[in-house]
Structure 1
Amino acid sequence: MNTIVVFGASRGLGLAIAKYYRSMDNPVIAMVRDPSAAQELIETGASVVKGDALNTEDIEAVLAKTPKEAWVISTMGSFKTSQPVDYLGHRNLIDALEGKGIKRFLMVTSLGCGDSWATLPERAKAVFGQAVREKGLAESWLQSSRLDFTILRPGGLKDGDITEHGELSQGREVHGLITRSEVARLTFELFNDDASIHQIYACVDPTLSY
């Protein structure tokens, strides 16, 4: 049973991912900026470590506890924060993983990153564009790394249960919603498929509507 290491797990998608793997009794290590705001995460039984991805020493401290065969997931983001981690935090993490020889890494970004920028609606570019561009830079840094990486770009996220209807796609324009729990399930699917290494996927759930 793999140890799961989650960066950005105190709330939202990262929390849903931590909950999913803890529900299957996988050991979960989670780095969060403020453990006092992560009570729900702590209650899952995850091992919670205080740290900031902009501080390389904090990342090193987490990875010192991480087995080389662990599955590492990042959902880090910083929409409208004074110190964004979308690019620099991920760059620090990717470099540290390479240094430690921890190979399997799944980075969750969003629709609109990289080659999907052209399909992002203009309104979304105006509101989220800076964060999406930062995430796109992180994707580029990861793609030139030596890691066994997978990039996952979900559509609009919402609370809800696993639906089993989330769809992975490549090379085509997609729009839509997906529950955070369903994204968590898809990460498990990708980790268990070696064909997903060095691949980029979009994911939405066609059964959900706005």
Structure 2
Amino acid sequence: MCPSCHEARPAHAGVHWPTPCPAGLVPPYAVGEYAGALRALVLAHKERRVLALARPLGELLATSVAASLATIGAGAPVLLVPVPSRAATVRQRGHDPTLTMARAAARTLGPDVRTAPLLRLRPGVVDQAGLDAAGRAANLAGSMTVPAPAVRRISRRCPRAHVVVCDDVLTTGATLREAQRALEAAGVRVHAAAVVAATRRRSAASH
């Protein structure tokens, strides 16, 4: 990371509600607006495979996760559940950026935090780029699932874990809300969502 980008990295995170907000969405935390240096970092890692950025982006994601956990106290384990990517997209990019960032965030936060890639995408989901809020919601409705064996493993190993859904960017909230729905349908309670950045039309106002 260049010195100017390093200096521009936000040190704090807050709740960034999308407008309009999907009904029932857990509080989504972000370190800042998806613009400038933050946008450049995310795109370089995601689209140009600058894999060395996984660590600093993971540290930013960790800042969002830590903010989401500030009200619950210490002691309970934490599970970071990255939103899934389409298999074709992962093949095209050559890596899974959200999973990589979530793992880096877990390492930053310490041994009580683990990454749990529980979510799977059903066939038929198309690329979200260019879709408006309604289109994204329709594209993702019912698109994610959690295999029962994965839930059983998590229930045995981390029965009291606080679950945080993770993504790189918050746009309309449709992806985070679908991930939350799938996890809760499988019996996994979701505490919050954490991302690196929220798009320009999002605001850090109360919901």
Question: Into which bin does the TM-score normalised by the smaller protein fall?
Answer: 0.3 to 0.5
User: Please, what TM-score do these two structures have when normalized by structure 1?
Assistant: 0.37
Using CA pairs under 8 Å that are at least 6 residues apart, name the structure with larger relative contact order, 1 or 2.
2
